Structure 1
Amino acid sequence: MSTTLMLLPGLNCDAAVWAPQVAALQGQANCVIPAWGLRDSLPAMAQQVLDEAPTERFCVAGHSMGGRVALEVMRLAPQRVERLALLDTGTHPLAAGEAGEKEKAGRMALLKIAQAQGMRVMAQEWAKGMVHPDRIGGPIFEEVLAMFERGSAAQYAAQINALLNRFDAAPLLPGITCPTLVLTGRQDAWSGPAQHEAMAAAIPGAQLVIVENSGHMTTMEQPQAVSAALADWLRR
Structure 2
Amino acid sequence: MAYRCPTCSPDIMQARETIILVPGLLCDDAVWEHQNAVLSRHYDVIVPQLTRQDSITAMAEYILEVAPERFSIAGHSMGARVALEVWRHAPARVARLALLDTGVHSASADELPKRQALLDISAGKGMTALADVWLPPMVAAGRLKIDIALRERLYAMVERMTPEIHRQQIAALLGRPDARPLLAQISCPVLIGVGSLDQWSPPEQHGVMAADIKHAHYDVFDDSGHMAPMEAPEAVTSALLKWMRDDRGLCK
Give the TM-score, by structure 1 length. 0.96
Question: Is 2:137 the counterpart of 1:129?
Answer: yes
Q: When you count helix as a share of all residues, which structure comes out higher? A: 1
Structural mapping, 1:65-76, within 5 Å: 65-76=78-89
Q: CA deviation at 1:167?
A: 0.6
Equivalent pair of 1:131/1:141 in contact (CA under 8 Å): no
- 2:18 aligns with 4
Question: Is 2:102 the counterpart of 1:89?
Answer: yes
Distance in structure 2 (CA, Å) of the matches to 1:218 and 1:24: 16
Give the TM-score, by structure 2 length. 0.90
Superposition RMSD on alpha carbons, in Å? Answer: 0.8
Structural mapping, 1:1-236, within 5 Å: 1-53=15-67, 55-95=68-108, 100=109, 102-137=110-145, 138=147, 139-236=149-246
Query: CA deviation digits over 1:154-175, x for unaligned, max 9?
Result: 0000000000001100000000
Q: CA deviation at 1:149?
A: 0.4
Distance in structure 2 (CA, Å) of the matches to 1:118 and 1:88: 26
The range that moved more, 31-40 or 202-211, is: 31-40
The range that moved more, 35-44 or 135-144, is: 135-144
Q: CA deviation at 1:122?
A: 0.6
Amino acid at match of 1:128: P
Query: CA deviation digits over 1:90-109, x for unaligned, max 9?
Result: 000012xxxx2x21111111
Query: CA deviation digits over 1:123-155, x for unaligned, max 9?
Result: 111101000113123321221111000000000
| Structure 1, unpaired ranges of 5+ | none
Radius of gyration: which is bigger? 2
Q: CA deviation at 1:28?
A: 2.2
Distance in structure 1 (CA, Å) of the matches to 2:152 and 2:180: 34
Equivalent pair of 1:4/1:31 in contact (CA under 8 Å): yes
Distance in structure 2 (CA, Å) of the matches to 1:106 and 1:175: 32
Write out the 4+ residue segments of structure 1 that deviate beyond 4 Å after TM superposition.
none
